[in-house]
Structure 1
């Protein structure tokens, strides 16, 4: 199977970094482009009992932008056609439904779990949602 447009979700976790590198390897081998996305769920962060608030949200957005910028720099260093963005919203819906349709993605690459301690116990809830709902192939990287 040949892939032309690969979407990779990142969040700063080790698994997401491995997913990004796997996406780059696939892109290089198939002359595909990579679209890197980090989703920040503003509502979830602001209402969080663990700190929340606008200041915390802005801090998380800045960290996400730095993370995406690092991925873009690495992809370009590797000679990959790479674009990226930080988006506010539901990671599950954006990665699993909306962005694949909007960008005509034919492969989604995700880490098996994210930064949350609960997600590390099982296959991440976002990864699981994307697996069940994506309109294209999905690669989960451990």
Structure 2
């Protein structure tokens, strides 16, 4: 498995590293730590100010390189091969290009970071990474704003909807030896369509029952796929008007350490892309979120 860990030295980046080292990924996985020095837009035409800023950036880059060397050494005992790279430019563009060049399987990043030059928040870097990355993206959010998440995964919520993308999310989770201490909740939401005319709802009764039967089949399939990697699997089916809100509510109620979602899904009425359900979960979840990108689903 080829993994990119985006790091900027912030507490959330440290939490991302901690969660990554506790994930049951193959021990021979290749890990590349990447830090991006993103220069601000020039605000002055004065040559001396440009020179001062270039000097500041050069000093900052040296600090980043030294920090990255220490992090690489620290992680060598956990992964088969560890390297580090410092890039310059737009954070999202540079990380996505590196992921493409190295054929990465997973990008791991903190939900919030910070640097001496520019602060980047979830609504910016991590959200755009999930939209544009060529592979899975795991966005790590430490609980209660602490630097360290709980060691290992105790409770995982995988949200499905019967789409190829959500089936891919289940398969990805099933590829990890989660262990007996991990509980997986397979969750599906049947979107309730609020119509102006109640007779439309009544006329769709047979269709609704068919949707419920299909949802139960999807849940049972997912549970069967996951039981070989952990004996603690249960299924939950809810009906709700707002899918993302329901996913977030259930994740909070069960204190999920991780939410796993496909990058693209479908509802009863129409296709929904990362910009709606998955994006809302990514932005507002209290826990970490793994967005799984599958080859057989269209890229948003």
**Counterpart position of 1:93:** 245
Tell me the C-alpha RMSD between the 2 structures. 2.5
Note if 1:115 corresponds to 2:274: no
Q: Is residue 169–residue 292 contact of structure 2 (8 Å, CA) maintained in 1?
A: yes
Q: Any conservation in 1 of the 2:223–2:235 contact (CA below 8 Å)? A: yes
1:58 has 2:209 as partner: yes
Aligned to 1:71: 222
Gaps of 5+ in 1: none
TM-score of the pair, normalised by structure 2: 0.41
Query: 1:6 is paired with a residue of what secondary structure?
Result: strand
Relative distance call for 1:44 and 1:112 in structure 2 (3 A) is farther
Partner in structure 2 of residue 11 of structure 1: 161
Quote the offset at 1:12 in angstroms: 1.0
Evaluate the alpha carbon distance shift between residue 107 and residue 65 of structure 1 in structure 2; reply closer, same or farther with a 3 A threshold: same
SS in 1 for 2:266: coil
Gaps of 5+ in 2: 1-18, 20-151, 294-300
Structure 1 residues 70, 7: CA separation in 2 closer, same or farther (over 3 Å shift)?
same
Structure with the largest fraction of helix: 1
- Give the match for residue 134 of structure 1: 285
Shift in CA distance, 111/30, structure 1 to aligned 2, threshold 3 Å: farther
**TM-score, with structure 1 as normaliser:** 0.82
Question: Which structure has the greater CA radius of gyration?
Answer: 2
How far 1:135 moved relative to its partner?
A: 0.8
